[in-house]
Amino acid sequence: MMENLLETAKKLDAEDRLGHFRDRFYIPARSGGGEQAYFCGHSLGLQSRSVESTIREELVAWRDRAVYGHFTGELPWMDCNDALCQQLAGLTGAQPSELVVMNTLSVNLNLLMVSFFRPQGDRRKILIEKHAFPSDRYAVASQLQFHGLDPAECMVELGPEPGAQLIEESQVEDYLRSHGDEVALVLWPGVQYITGQAFDLPRLAAAAHAAGSMIGFDLAHYIGNIPLSLDESGCDFAAWCHYKYLNSGPGAVGGCFVNQRHHQANGLPRFTGWWGNDRSSLFRMEHDFKPARGAAGWQMSNPPILAMAPIRASLALFEEAGMARLRQKSLALSDYLVTGIQSQLDDILEILTPGDSARRGCQLSLRVRAGRESGRELFSYLEQRGIITDWREPDVIRVAPVPLYNRFEDCCTFLQHISEWRALTGS
Ligand SMILES: *Cc1c(COP(=O)(O)O)cnc(C)c1O
């Protein structure tokens, strides 16, 4: 049976019109020689071959033009954010004016909540999911405390029904219908980082707004993974990082969306710095802050040019490949894995991620049926053979076949090694 899987993988790779994009990346080597089967793009995307030269261009600009680099050259540093937002508009389905590239994700969540969490009267709760990424949970707790509120009372954590793995959108709707008048903000992930479940963003935004609450999305595991239409989603704000599916390097500068309905001058309160000034007054060094219209008005400092460069390289690759085509291949890759697991490995592996492809990106979250110890053992077994997944406590192996650089054959290798492990351990 595994032979059939290999034949299928080879055939699918040969037909794959995006296959050549793999050559645009550095694939890390296995210790025993050959290339890794790298399935950790949900955590840190691989380095593309174009990254180095985009950074070098900025080093040269700094070396040769020094302070004039702000205003001269092909891409003056002054315009760096605007240029990136033009590129990001297509990928995010937003207007460039609704986007800004700045800081990092946890910082941005905090800054955006300063603006979008405005507790008033009995409406002072923040609704999050029970298994939120720790940083998001800390940010929410600190925002509540900043307003003198007690997280134990005002942070509402909604989890799956007893015995279930996933949270249904209908649970969020039910909660907001019955308790929505106490909720000032919903902060929700686009894709849940442990299970890989993708949420229906427009549906959640509609439910929050019907209850009179603001809603923001954390899109760390969504962007570059699933086609995004931020304007259609209707959310008030969103934030994400660029180092997961967007391959822009460890700690890459983050991105934010502020819906244009919040762009009116002197609208929302915010924390400010000189770089958020309206462009016409930026260098007049005026006494009073006059925010730039749009998301750019949330910037504080002048941007880290060397750190922004890889994002430019990465977005160019996404433009070239096309998000719709990437999604098509992404689903084909994960469907191949799901089929392989269900037909060959169902006795030892459980898939936590929704089977319905509309409810997931490329990540599959797996649990070894024999329990946590066996799960850890399998994870290490794969790692030692150059098959790179990750382990999430207590018992989840995450595997993400990324359409820009993973092949169907990588997926086959993954399945084969698990099958060998089963034969070896008698699991
Ligand atoms: C990756 C991730 C983060 C990381 O935050 P940083 O500030 O970039 O370190 C936060 N939240 C979620 C949901 C994530 O997936």
Average pLDDT, the chain: 96
Q: Whose CA is nearest to atom 13 of ligand 1?
A: 133
Q: What is the mean pLDDT of residues 263-274?
A: 87
Residue 60: Cβ within 10 Å count: 12
Probe ligand 1: pick from 104, 109, 111, 133, max atoms within 8 Å of CB? 133
Asked if pLDDT for residue 133 goes beyond 70, the answer is yes
Share above pLDDT 90 across residues of the chain, in percent, rounded to a whole number: 94
Return the CATH fold of 54-319.
Aspartate Aminotransferase; domain 2 (3.40.640)
pLDDT of residue 284: 77
276-299 pLDDT tens trace: 998 887 777 778 888 999 999 999
Q: Report, as an integer, the average pLDDT of 179-207.
A: 98
Radius of gyration over alpha carbons of the chain, in Å? 23
Q: What is the reported pLDDT for 2?
A: 77
pLDDT in tens, 134-192: 999 999 999 999 999 999 999 999 999 999 999 999 999 999 999 999 999 999 999 99
When pLDDT is averaged across residues 230-234 and rounded to a whole number, the result is: 97
Per-residue pLDDT of 85-122, as tens digits, reads 999 999 999 999 999 999 999 999 999 999 999 999 99
Q: Assess whether the C-beta atom of 297 lies below 6 angstroms from ligand 1.
A: no
- The CA distance from 255 to 263, in Å, is 17
Q: How confident is the model at residue 1 (pLDDT cuts 50, 70, 90)?
A: low
Tell me the domain boundaries of the chain.
2-46+323-425, 54-319
What atom in ligand 1 is closest to the CA of residue 218? 13
- Is there an atom of ligand 1 within 6 Å of 135 CB? yes
Distance 135 CA to ligand 1 centre (A): 7
Which option is the CATH number for 2-46+323-425: 3.90.1150.10, 3.40.30.160, 3.30.70.100, 3.40.50.720? 3.90.1150.10
pLDDT tens column, 61-90? 999 999 999 999 999 999 999 999 999 999
* Percent of the chain's residues with pLDDT above 70: 99
pLDDT at residue 266 greater than cutoff 70: no
Q: Atom 15, ligand 1: which residue's CA is nearest? A: 220
Any atom of ligand 1 within 6 Å of the Cβ of 189: yes
Among 109, 241, 248, 365, which residue has the most ligand 1 atoms within 8 Å of its CB, making it the best to mutate?
Answer: 241
What is the mean predicted confidence (pLDDT) over 402-427?
A: 95
Question: Ligand 1: does its nearest atom lie under 6 Å from the Cβ of 211?
Answer: no
Q: What is the model's pLDDT at position 265?
A: 63
Put simply, whether the predicted model's pTM sits higher than 0.85 gets the answer yes
Look at residue 272 in the predicted model and tell me its pLDDT. Answer: 95
